[in-house]
Structure 1
């Protein structure tokens, strides 16, 4: 994170309550760290921002973000397979068909550094129930072993910077 980053810091300008300052909000492992830095108390917008950044950096140093592996192993409340990131899935186009015509898969998923998710599926018909389940677990374990860095909860919300392309100019004689 760069020193100029506003990660975890937002501006508060409320004319009704005459509140002006910066609000730091950082959540780590279920604990929310929040503190307001008033322009009036700190002597202006720039000084209150500097104090907010200093506080934010102290919180992050004391409570670093989850690693990608830690984040990827959080057990969700709706987990029914018993394995994080592995679920049984019926192909949506076959869901209304009779049981023998439905296509079932075991699916492994994991986060990518840019915030998207990668999914691979293994056919129950092709590999059998146990085989497809084991292949999904193996695929996920292999992928998680290659994940590095810290989890970035804002990665999905940020849009990739658009690349500008030069205009196409027709050449040649008319």
Structure 2
């Protein structure tokens, strides 16, 4: 932070963990220059992170949201949008299981109520989510979804025919 108007120079550390915001300013003047205040800010950041580790993917995946109506995190009842305006007997309903992937995207699997019945589709969605969460490892990265994955130049710029032959 360098603001000539307020004569504020330094580093600001802000970290949120489990609803608590850890915030501290490190002034260049108090710490004896930019490098020293930066080192103090990094030290504080590292200390906060070590004392308050980020959610694991599994922990994050089990947070109950305010809008949850099924009673189960990551499982919801869904009407296919193209049938929503049709009469009830023509609507297509599903139970959907969803879970986060390490790169920030979400995986969804749906089970037809017409095909499996209300209870059968619900149980299948529960099982699909439970099985997927078992394989979920690592820390939750809230910025992953905003970052675009790097494009593989060789594969992206090679004609399809050449890729198939390779």
TM-score, normalised on structure 1?
0.85
Is there any run of 5+ residues in structure 2 with no aligned partner, and where? 159-166
Instruction: Give, in whole Å, the separation in 1 of the partners of 2:23 and 2:135.
Output: 34
Alignment of 1:80-95 (within 5 A): 80-95=69-84
1:106 aligns with 2:95: yes
Task: Tell me the residue number matched to 1:54.
Answer: 43
Structure 2 counterpart of 1:78, from 67, 89, 92: 67
Is there any run of 5+ residues in structure 1 with no aligned partner, and where? 1-11, 169-174
Count of aligned pairs: 157
Higher helix share: 2
TM-score, normalised on structure 2?
0.89
Structure 2 counterpart of 1:148, from 132, 137, 140: 137
Instruction: Give, in whole Å, the separation in 2 of the partners of 1:81 and 1:141.
Output: 15
1:66 aligns with 2:68: no
1:36 aligns with 2:25: yes
Instruction: Give, in whole Å, the separation in 2 of the partners of 1:90 and 1:138.
Output: 20
CA deviation string 1:36-89 (max 9, x = no partner): 111222222222111111101101111111111111000000000000000000
